[in-house]
């Protein structure tokens, strides 16, 4: 079906879901930091898979099984190329970022952490890159310590170095881009300093992959994770990059089919990574959809995307701050296209409800970052997150809707 918004962004026309009305108003989707929408090529790829190739992988010798296995294995190569991994075997498919961190924390963490060891997590960390480390610490006797941030959301570099130098740090867990504030963290430098003291680093790349090229070799990360649904792909699928020597030394995370080499009542032997960490029937359609999303994303002009999103970010931030009673949080230089704000006239949930009545989808809450909310001294924020498919009309509707909320509650 042709896009009805020919005068708007060509990017927008690739996302069928955006061509609809919500509450009688054109949809303005500003919640991509929670879940991005899917381009038509991803929808078509997954539909084709289920209509033509659907079968289990690494099992059947029949034609559908072979085609499904080929598509699944090719998808791993696509992810490896997108992240510039050295080996395809460094890519483990997961249900998403949360499972990927849990895998590392349970497998590497429980095998390597011991009483007295320290795991550092930034104070802005998503719960998915904090809680699994707390669970691992409880089981091993290790301790999880926060790395402070400044008021604008940037990492407190001096505090980070002091924590590294004064503690037996074994793992640093940090996000590449903050899902709440949009802060871009200097992950390459974070990794370099951690390696200096012998610590490893797990980077949560959920919010980075949709907006910028990622090179895990250049960053030097030991583990890097991504989520399909943040990167214009399907929900319920993600990927873990891990340096191959680390993955080979890690015990299985779950047991079941396809991760075993031999099984008997005398004992079981396991396959090499990545299969060792992919027990059971995988989400093949999701994996194929993820590969389609990353191939589509790789075909885009990232420089153009950055200019477009930064223009929207700057003009929306300026316009919001002109509304009396609105306060924008986390205005660090070079941040990604995420705006979190609070008001003195209504709770974030009430603001989001008014915005929804105007067709504007935003997120309101703690954004799975409760320690960050405590640092900012707010219970919640309204978050508007821009993607390539948003445009100035979306921004204008957002500003008008927030102004309407102020009139209502004032």
- Strand duo 338-343 + 381-385: pairing: antiparallel
Candidate list 3, 13, 178, 368, residue with the active-site label: 368
- Strand duo 381-385 + 363-365: pairing: antiparallel
C-alpha count within 13 angstroms, C-beta hemisphere, residue 10: 4
Backbone φ and ψ of 200, nearest 5°:
-95, 170
CA dihedral sign of residues 17, 18, 20, 22: positive
Region 341-366 average pLDDT: 98
CA dihedral sign of residues 334, 31, 288, 174: positive
pLDDT bracket for residue 1 (50, 70, 90): very low
pLDDT bracket for residue 38 (50, 70, 90): very high
Region 259-287 average pLDDT: 97
- Strand duo 25-26 + 21-22: pairing: antiparallel
Region 376-405 average pLDDT: 98
- Domain range annotation of the chain: 12-30+301-409, 45-298
d(CA 320, CA 152): 17
Q: State the pLDDT at residue 302.
A: 95
Q: What is the mean pLDDT of the chain?
A: 96
Which CATH class, in words, describes the domain spanning 45-298? alpha beta
* pLDDT tens track for 63-105: 999 999 999 999 999 999 999 999 999 999 999 999 999 999 9
Burial class of 319 by CB neighbour count within 10 A (0 to 12, 13 to 18, 19+): middle
d(CA 308, CA 203): 26
The residue among 349, 353, 320 whose CA lies nearest residue 23 is: 353
Region 286-305 average pLDDT: 97
Q: For residue 4, is pLDDT > 80? A: no
- Strand duo 28-29 + 360-361: pairing: parallel
Any catalytic annotation for residue 368?
A: yes
Domain 12-30+301-409 matching CATH 3.90.1150.10: the answer reads yes
Q: State the pLDDT at residue 7.
A: 53
pTM to 2 decimal places: 0.96
CA dihedral sign of residues 247, 248, 252, 258: positive
* pLDDT tens track for 207-244: 999 999 999 999 999 999 999 999 999 999 999 999 99
78 C-beta neighbours (distance < 10 Å), count:
21
Q: For residue 3, is pLDDT > 70? A: no
pLDDT bracket for residue 10 (50, 70, 90): confident
* pLDDT tens track for 40-63: 999 999 999 999 999 999 988 999
Q: Are 164 and 174 in contact (CB under 8 A)?
A: no
Taking CA atoms, 159 is separated from 146, 149, 309, in Å, by 10, 9, 31
315 C-beta neighbours (distance < 10 Å), count:
14
């Amino acid at each position: 079906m042709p896009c009805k918004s020919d005068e708007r962004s060509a990017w927008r026309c690739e996302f069928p879901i955006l061509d609809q009305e919500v509450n009688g108003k054109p949809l303005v989707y500003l919640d991509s930091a929670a879940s991005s929408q899917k381009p038509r090529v991803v929808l078509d790829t997954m539909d084709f898979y289920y209509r033509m190739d659907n079968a289990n992988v690494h099992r059947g010798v029949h034609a559908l099984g072979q085609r499904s296995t080929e598509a699944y294995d090719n998808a791993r190569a696509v992810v490896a190329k997108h992240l510039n991994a050295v080996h395809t075997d460094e890519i483990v498919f997961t249900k998403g970022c949360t499972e990927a961190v849990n895998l590392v924390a349970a497998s590497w963490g429980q095998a390597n952490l011991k009483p007295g060891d320290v795991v550092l997590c930034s104070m802005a960390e998503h719960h998915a890159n904090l809680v699994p480390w707390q669970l691992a610490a409880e089981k091993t006797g290790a301790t999880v310590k926060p790395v402070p941030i400044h008021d604008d959301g940037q990492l407190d570099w001096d505090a980070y170095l002091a924590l590294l130098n004064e503690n037996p740090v074994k793992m640093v867990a940090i996000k590449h881009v903050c899902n709440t504030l949009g802060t871009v963290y200097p992950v390459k430098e974070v990794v370099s300093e951690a390696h200096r003291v012998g610590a490893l680093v797990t980077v949560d790349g959920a919010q980075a992959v949709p907006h910028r090229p990622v090179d895990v070799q250049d960053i030097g990360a030991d583990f890097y994770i991504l989520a399909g649904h943040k990167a214009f792909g399907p929900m319920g699928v993600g990927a873990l990059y891990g340096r191959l020597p680390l993955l080979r030394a890690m015990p299985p995370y779950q047991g079941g089919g396809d991760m075993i080499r031999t099984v008997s009542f005398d004992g079981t032997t396991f396959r090499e990574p990545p299969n060792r960490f992919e027990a059971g029937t995988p989400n093949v359609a999701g994996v194929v959809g993820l590969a389609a999303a990353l191939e589509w994303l790789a075909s885009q002009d990232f420089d153009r995307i950055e200019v477009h999103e930064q223009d929207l970010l700057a003009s929306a931030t300026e316009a919001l701050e002109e509304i009396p009673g609105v306060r924008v949080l986390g205005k660090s230089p070079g941040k990604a296209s995420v705006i979190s704000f609070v008001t003195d006239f209504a709770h974030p949930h009430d603001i989001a409800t008014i915005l929804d009545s105007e067709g504007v989808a935003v997120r309101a809450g703690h954004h799975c970052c409760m320690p960050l909310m405590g640092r900012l001294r707010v219970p919640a924020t309204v978050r508007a997150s821009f993607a390539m498919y948003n445009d100035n009309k979306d921004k204008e509707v957002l500003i008008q809707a927030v102004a309407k909320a102020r009139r209502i509650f004032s």
